[in-house]
A and B are shown apart, each in its own frame.
Chain A
Amino acid sequence: MSCDNEITILLVEDDPGHARLIEKNLKRSNITNCFHAVTDGQQALDYLFSEGEYAGRDLPSPLLVLLDLNMPVVDGYQVLERMKADARIKHVPVVILTTTDDAREVSRCYELGCNVYITKPVDYEKFTEAIRKLGLFLSIVTVPDGE
């Protein structure tokens, strides 16, 4: 995969359908960044902390995380919490992308340090629109360097 933008996007999404739809729509929004998808929280943590199957690999930088909340094993909150608790990666921007639009969960995520919270609408046109706006956001966002 060629990457136009130097920012690597880590997509954490347990539903492969969702992951596919997000990727597709981001591409349609001309987001051409390096894209890495994992299917659960544990994998995301391994990736972020260079552990498990990612052991020994350097973490790409700059990096942005698209994070689903409801996942088996390790959920999004835990990932977010771990990230924000670690000095090395706490500056990595996190965009929550989830089906939940419950106000309490939204505020909880912001409290834990997420940067943007986006609800995945069931209506596909709205979904497309939301991802497109995310793409716009990603295209203009400046992500701090890892060091």
Chain B
Amino acid sequence: MPKGTRRKPPEKTAGGREDALQQLTAALSMVADDANVWMSILDREGRVVLWNRAAARISGYGEEEIVGRKIAWDLLYPDASYRETLKARTADIVERSASLDGFETTIRCRDESYRIVSWNERALTDAEGAAIGSLAFGFDVTERRQAEAEVQHRAELASLTHKVAHLVSSEMEDLAKLFPAIVESVSAVFSGYGVSLLLIDEDRGALVLESTAGRGTAATPAGYRVPMGMGLTGRAATTGETQVSGNVDAACHYIREAETNTRSELAVPMRSGSEVIGVLDLQSSALDAFDAVETAAIETLCIHIGAAISQARLLEEATGQAQRAAIINRIARAVGSTLDMGELMGIVYEGIVAALEAEAVYITRLDEEAQQLIVLLGIEGDVRDEGSRIPLGAGFSSHVVNTKRPLRIDDIQQQRDALPEPVAWGDTSRPYTSWLGVPMMIGDRVIGTIATMVGRVAAYGEKEEQLLATIADQVAVALENARLFEEQSGQAERLAVVNRVAKAVGSRLGLDDLLQTVYDEIAPMFENEALYITRVDEAAQEIEFLFGVEDGERLVPDRVPLGEGLTSHIVTTGRPLHIHHFEKEIHDVPVPRMWGNVKLHDSWLGVPMLVGDRTVGTIATMIDRPHAYSDEQEQLLCTIADQVAVALENARLFGEMQRRADQMTLVNDIGGSISALLDLDDLLDRAVHLIQELFGFDHVAYLAADPDGESLVMRVRVGSLAGLLPLGYRIPLGKGLVGQAGAEKKTLCVSDVQSDSRYVNPVGTEVHTRAELDVPVCVGDRLLGVLDIQSAAAHAFDKNDVMVMETLADQLAVAIENARLYEDAQRELSERQRAESALGEERTLLRTIIDNVPDFIYAKDLESRFTVANRAIAGLVGAASPEDLLGKTDADYHPADMAAGYRADEERVLESGEPILGREEPVVIQVTGEKGWLLTSKMPLLDPQGQVVGIVGIGRDISERKRNDEKLQRYVAEIEEANEEIKQFAYIVSHDLRAPLVNLKGFASELRGSMDAMAPAVEAALAQLPEEGRSEIEAAVREDIPESLGFIESSVARMDGFINAVLKLSRIGRRELRFEEVDPNEVVAGAVAALAHQIEEEGVEVEIDALPTLTADRTSVEQIFGNLLTNAVNYLVPSRPGRIQVGGRQDEHGWTFWVRDNGRGISHEDADKVFAPFRRAGRQNVPGEGMGLSYVRTIVRQHKGRIWFDSEDGSGTTFYFAVPASLGQDKEP
């Protein structure tokens, strides 16, 4: 078959099969990956014997540099211990005929990249079974493993954030444990990376390394400092933006600290609220080690860690404050319960040491008359001092006394020039660095100092100062008590009161009880008609009336704004207000404000409650009698007020601490319970409900940022407004408080929405909202949503609430991001699984199709080794299963000459890249040993780069068809031979028959000549004959002999006619045809003209259609039409006018012509004889030999055509003949 024929659309073949084949061919190219099998053979010494092109392509090492040498091991496995392990395995295979399947190793390729290869390894044995080497098939699974590792890594990332979230919630109380745990967790997921966690130090000058793990981190110890702004880490801390570099040597901010091999670095800032507090830093020795997903995951982690750190710090602080509160409480109790100075000082000293880590403590009392400070207690190491006197003047303590203000020194040596001259006393050889001293005050009078010092820079801050001041106040009260006790024994009763108050303050933390006690103690002494105790709410700028009694009736607590009025005056001035006679002094005092139905009393005494110089409340007593209170009473009330102040402050601190600790616990609970939820809806729902329930807010909602970036959408809400705000309710960013918080990504806390112009009532109807707190929920710079909290009470949210909710918002952001990451990871995993299973199904489908197609389908590598084989071909070569063929070649199965032929074809396909299509080739079916034939197509197999990597072959067993073809050929030959014999026979017979005829005719003529010569003599002789018998002889001579001769001659003539007819027929059959364009119109016209005489005479009507020109032998066409027309004219019937019609048509197959007459027709019985030689049908009234239609049929057959007729006896006949179109094109005679 000529090349290219098969490429035509297969309209003639069975279309479905062909399509299936083409599809298979296309599908097979997908299997190309699997065809890339590494094959190598090592001999016993480890020398490479065989190294195929796949091996060369995967490893990069060409056959020429590997084969025959032992270097393959060293090249592929540079690590010696790894190499020895693998060598041992191969040795095991060779020595013990073990085998290896799917064993994966990592090889180093020529380009120094690493690839993972999955090995199947077998021992090779010689004929005796002795091991001679090993054969390895390798599948390059690098991409597959990388993809798996990638998926694994993503899942690990998702679980990492989860794990860290868990760590954060479980380890938050101990940062010292938390940091290493986080770093270890990150390091476990990012194996091969160095992970460091650094925190910004207090003065924000540097990052301090807290914890490290992983590669190359041993060199940098904890505490290592990185200046802010320096390197990628410092830059991340300064800018608050993630710093990532795929190639640190090219990054302008990278600073190579030591000889590290870091190539990629990722530094992510950690935040507490909006403040950067540290950096998580990852380093890798690979280039471009961090992708966007990993970066995002680490950023999420950092949000988590940041939230954890800020929480932990808050907790630490809260714990510290609670401790201090307890110390103060203990001191207060001691002050209240003991008048023994020594014991009191001991307690104070212990408290100070515990709270301030003091190395030295001095408590002094001012002796105003002597202008000296008396050391009440001085402890410095083992040295104890009591009673020393220090002249007032220079020195830190004198400075405190003079200024009446605390003095805090961070570094005595550094600040020497700016400090007052220190006074050496006691053992001053100790190098104290930090010094803190506070005055002890009664009213505005300094009565002494307390100082503490330590050998550490900047050991004391604001908090320590406050604490010491509070302690000082306590001690001052105690000292004053003692003084009063000593100086004014007459005032014992008052002192007892003070003492009782102090005791109450020390023993009761319930504020109400305390105040009642205070009242009970004060009332008899001051004989008052009304008494008020207030507290200052600095945040709200209000005065809170905690306790009020008027004419023995308790008043309901209330709040009034800080402003004018008597109490406000005291608060503002921090000094007592004593009105002796109201009416007289009315113009000199502030305008009083009414509380309840308070009437104006003549005497009014109010004193501030001071903590340090801060007024925390007031106590006022009044009576309807002028000049009711003395100065002593004023002083007494001041003392009591100080006591109460301490109690109030204690209660406030304690309450606040308690609340804060509770809140932190709640925050932690919420964080813990939501961080475990991975479903976003559950998570939000849970979070909002928890916040509402645990904090008791009126309304809590979460509005998610819409992807359009322009609005917030209500996702979850709970509380009093839930019914008014439908889910899906939208608020444009920037509108209202919620919208503004979202747009600016800043927390908004409004104490009273009714006086805030930004507030928008979302529902129109009246809502009870007074205070609103809106906290944006962000991941880095990205807004996720807004947490909206509303309260029906104004001033419902304080700084602490804001901080707690911000912490929660951070937690929530982390949890949301977690859920999202988890969903992403899940989705990606399931997509990948789906893709993989689809690929698997496709392969199974393909395999099933391939295996069940009766055709032989296979693919081979460049060396013609099978890489794919189906069951059909396994059956052909006699293999048990298709797998047996893999790696083998045709030479393993077929006779050498055939295999060589196949290989030659395949080499040609591989070299030229041109397929061989539809090649018929011999084959031996190995199972039966029968010879057969294959119809084979071999096509080049291309890899994705278009490189020829093998061939794909499809073969079909056409033995049966071939056998039939051969049989057919034989039959045709036999028939042709027989035909030829017949022709020869006719010819010979007709010639040989002629020879005797010549004699018959010749000698008959001779006889007649002899008779003529004898005639005169015979006539004469006859006359001589006797009468009797003469007539008989006469008859013989004159009639019988001539008659006999006549019959002989006429018979010979007829015989000659037959012979000539047969001869003519046989000659027609052998005549060479000359094909040309013949116009049958011309031919028919000629034939009609030849019959013109007869036609005219008999009045025949001849109708000739326009006939199509045909390709044929002109003479033949003339003879056909001539005969048919002659017949038509001859066999007309006289009874009706003759009508002859000639027609013809052309179609794709050829031409058909017909000659139709209305003559006598052909009877059914005669139908068989019509085309037989010497046969004439019907009445023989027409001259002829009966050969015409025989000739015509022979001629038509010579044209590969067909002749037939339709006829009805008596009504006419139509003769048709058809000539195929392909004649004359291919020159088959």
* B1053: chain A residues within 8 A (beta carbon): 123
Most buried by A among B987, B992, B994: B994
Q: Of the candidates A15, A70, A102, A123, which one forms a contact with B999 in the assembled complex, judged by CB atoms under 8 Å apart?
A: A15
Using Cβ atoms and an 8 Å threshold, which residues of chain B touch A99? Answer: 991, 994-995, 998
Q: Which of B991, B996, B1002 contacts A127 (CB 8 A)?
A: B1002
- The closest CB in chain A to the CB of B988 belongs to A70
CB distance from A97 to the nearest CB of B (A): 11
* Contact status A21-B1006, CB under 8 Å: yes
B984-1019, CB < 8 A from A: 987, 991-992, 994-999, 1001-1006
Q: Mark A99-128, 1 if CB is under 8 A from B, else 0.
A: 110100000000000000000111111011
Cα separation A125 to B1005 with both chains bound (whole Å): 8
Quote the shortest CB–CB distance from A69 to chain B (angstroms): 9
Known contacts A70-B992, A122-B1052, A125-B1005: does B987 contact A18 (CB below 8 Å)? no
Contact A120 B998 (CB under 8 A): yes
Complex Cα–Cα for A124 and B1002 (A) = 5
Q: Kindly provide the distance from the CB of A20 to the nearest chain B CB, expressed in whole angstroms.
A: 8
B994 to chain A: which residues have CB within 8 Å?
99, 120, 122
Whether B991 and A24, one on each chain, are in contact in the complex, defined by CB atoms closer than 8 angstroms, is no
Interface assignment of B1056: CB less than 8 Å from any CB of chain A: yes
The 0/1 profile, CB within 8 Å of A marked 1, for residues 583-602 of chain B is 00000000000000000000
A17 at the interface (CB under 8 A from B): yes
Distance in angstroms between the alpha carbons of A102 and B1067 in the assembled complex: 9
**Complex-state Cα separation, A123 to B1005, whole angstroms:** 10
A21 B987 Cβ-Cβ under 8 A: no
What A residues does B998 contact at CB under 8 A?
15, 17-18, 21, 99, 120-122, 124, 127
The answer to whether residues A18 and B995 also contact, given A102-B987, A122-B1052, A122-B1056 and a CB cut-off of 8 A, is yes
A17 close to B991 (CB less than 8 A): no
Q: Nearest chain B CB to A44's CB is how many angstroms away?
A: 18
Question: Which residue of chain B is the closest to A120 with respect to CB atoms?
Answer: B998
B1004 and A124 within 8 A (CB): yes
Q: Max chain A CB contacts within 10 Å: which of B1006, B1052, B1056?
A: B1006
Bitwise interface map of B from 1035 to 1057 toward A, beta carbon under 8 Å scored 1, else 0: 00000000000000000110010
Q: Which of A2-39 contact B (CB under 8 A)?
A: 15, 17-18, 21, 24
Chain B residues with Cβ under 8 A from A17's Cβ?
Answer: 996, 998-999, 1002-1003
CA distance A109 to B994 in the complex (A): 20
Given contacts A70-B991, A99-B991, A122-B1056, contact A18 B999 (CB under 8 A): yes
- A70–B987 Cα distance when bound, in Å, is 12
Q: How far is the CB of A51 from chain B (nearest CB, A)?
A: 27
> If A18-B998, A70-B995 touch, does A124 touch B1056 (CB 8 Å cutoff)?
no
Nearest CB of A to B975, in Å = 23
A24-B1006, A122-B1052 are known contacts. Are A100 and B999 too (CB-CB below 8 A)?
A: no
Q: Which residues of A contact B1004 (CB under 8 A)?
A: 124
Q: Distance in Å from the Cβ of A23 to the closest Cβ of chain B? A: 12
B1005, A124: Cβ atoms closer than 8 Å:
yes
- Given A122-B997, A122-B1052, does the pair A21, B1003 have CB atoms closer than 8 Å? yes
Min Cβ gap A57→B in Å is: 30
Q: A122-B1052, A122-B1056 are in contact. Are A21 and B1002 (CB under 8 A)?
A: yes
Complex Cα distance, B999 from A24, in Å, reads 13
Mask of B899-918 contacts with A, CB within 8 angstroms, 1/0: 00000000000000000000
Contact with B along A68-82 (1 / 0, CB 8 A): 001000000000000
A15: contacting residue among B995, B1005, B1052, CB under 8 A: B995
Contact of B1001 among A15, A100, A124 (CB under 8 A): A124
Residues of B within 8 A of A21 (CB): 998-999, 1002-1003, 1006
Interface of B: prevailing SS: helix
Q: Which of B1044-1076 contact A (CB under 8 A)?
A: 1052-1053, 1056, 1067
Interface centre among A18, A99, A122, A125 (most CB of B within 10 A): A122
Q: Which residues of A contact B1002 (CB under 8 A)?
A: 17-18, 21, 124, 127
Q: Which residues of A contact B1067 (CB under 8 A)?
A: 102
User: Which residues of B sit under 8 angstroms from A100, Cβ to Cβ?
Assistant: 991
Q: How far is the CB of B149 from chain A (nearest CB, A)?
A: 89
- Please give, as numbers and ranges, the residues of chain B lying within 8 Å of A121 by CB-CB distance: 998
Closest-CB distance, A53 to chain B (whole angstroms): 25
A112 to chain B, nearest CB (A): 18
- B886: shortest Cβ distance to chain A, in Å? 66
Interface core residue of B991, B998, B1067 (most chain A CB under 10 Å): B998
Q: Inside 8 A of B999's CB, which chain A residues have their CB?
A: 15, 17-18, 21
Cα distance, A100 to B991, chains bound together (Å) = 6
Contact with A along B977-988 (1 / 0, CB 8 A): 000000000010
What CA separation (Å) do A70 and B994 show in the bound complex? 11
Cα A121 to Cα B992 in complex, Å, equals 13
How distant is the Cα of A128 from the Cα of B1067 in the complex, in angstroms?
27
Residue contact B991 to A122, C-beta cutoff 8 Å: no
The complex places the Cα of A121 from the Cα of B233 at a distance, in Å, of: 128
User: CA separation between A102 and B1059, bound complex, in Å?
Assistant: 13
User: What's the nearest-Cβ distance from chain A to residue B928, in Å?
Assistant: 51
Closest Cβ neighbor of B987 among chain A residues: A102
Which residue of chain B lies nearest to A13 when distances are taken between CB atoms in the complex? B995
Closest to B1056 in A: A122
Nearest residue in B to A69 (C-beta to C-beta)? B991
Bound-state Cα–Cα, A18 to B1003, Å: 10
Interface string of B607-639 (1 = CB under 8 A from A): 000000000000000000000000000000000
B1006 touches A122 (CB 8 A): no
B1003 touches A122 (CB 8 A): no
Please, which residues of chain A bring their CB within 8 A of the CB of B1052?
122
Which chain B positions have C-beta within 8 A of A15? 995-996, 998-999
On chain A, the residues within 8 Å of B997 by CB distance are: 122
Taken together as a complex, chains A and B put the C-alpha atoms of A26 and B1056 apart, in Å, by 24
Whole-angstrom distance between the Cβ of B1006 and the nearest chain A Cβ:
7
B1050 CB → nearest A CB, Å: 12
Distance in Å from the Cβ of B292 to the closest Cβ of chain A?
Answer: 94
Cα A102 to Cα B983 with chains together (Å):
13
Residue of B nearest to A104 (CB): B1070
- Chain B residue numbers with a CB within 8 Å of A102 are 987, 1067
What is the CB-to-nearest-CB distance from A107 to chain B, in angstroms, rounded to a whole number? Answer: 14
Most chain-B Cβ atoms within 10 A of its Cβ — which of A15, A100, A120, A124? Answer: A124
Chain A min CB distance to B1135 (Å): 41
User: How distant is A70 from chain B, measured CB to nearest CB, in Å?
Assistant: 6
Contacts of A124 in B (CB 8 A): 998, 1001-1002, 1004-1005
Q: How far is the CB of B136 from chain A (nearest CB, A)?
A: 76
Q: Which residue on chain A has the smallest CB distance to residue B1060?
A: A122
Q: How far is the CA of A15 from the CA of B1001 in the complex (A)?
A: 14
CA A118 to CA B694, docked complex, whole Å = 140
- A131: shortest Cβ distance to chain B, in Å? 10
- Cα A42 to Cα B247 in complex, Å, equals 111
| Bound Cα distance from A99 to B991, whole angstroms | 6
For the complex formed, measure the closest distance between the CB of A18 and the CB atoms of chain B, giving whole angstroms.
6
Q: How far is the CA of A123 from the CA of B1002 in the complex (A)?
A: 8
Q: Closest CB of chain A to B464's CB: distance in Å?
A: 140
Q: Which single residue of chain B is at the shortest CB-CB distance from A16?
A: B999
The answer for the CA separation of A127 and B1004 in the assembled complex, in Å, is 13
* Minimal beta-carbon separation of B1005 from chain A (angstroms): 4
CB distance from A22 to the nearest CB of B (A): 9
Q: Min CB distance, B130 to chain A, in Å? A: 76
Residue numbers in B under 8 Å from A123 (CB-CB): 1001, 1053, 1056
Query: CA–CA, A122 to B999, complex, Å?
Result: 8
In the assembled complex, 6 residue pairs joining A and B whose CB atoms fall closer than 8 Å, in A order, are: A17-B999, A18-B995, A24-B1006, A70-B995, A99-B994, A124-B1001
Known interface pairs A21-B1003, A70-B991, A99-B995; 7 further A-B residue pairs with C-beta atoms within 8 A, sorted by A's residue number: A15-B996, A18-B995, A21-B998, A21-B999, A99-B994, A122-B1052, A124-B1002
4 nearest A-B residue pairs (beta carbon): A17-B999, A124-B1005, A99-B994, A21-B1002
Query: Could you list which residues of chain B lie within 8 angstroms of chain A, going by C-beta atoms?
Result: 987, 991-992, 994-999, 1001-1006, 1052-1053, 1056, 1067
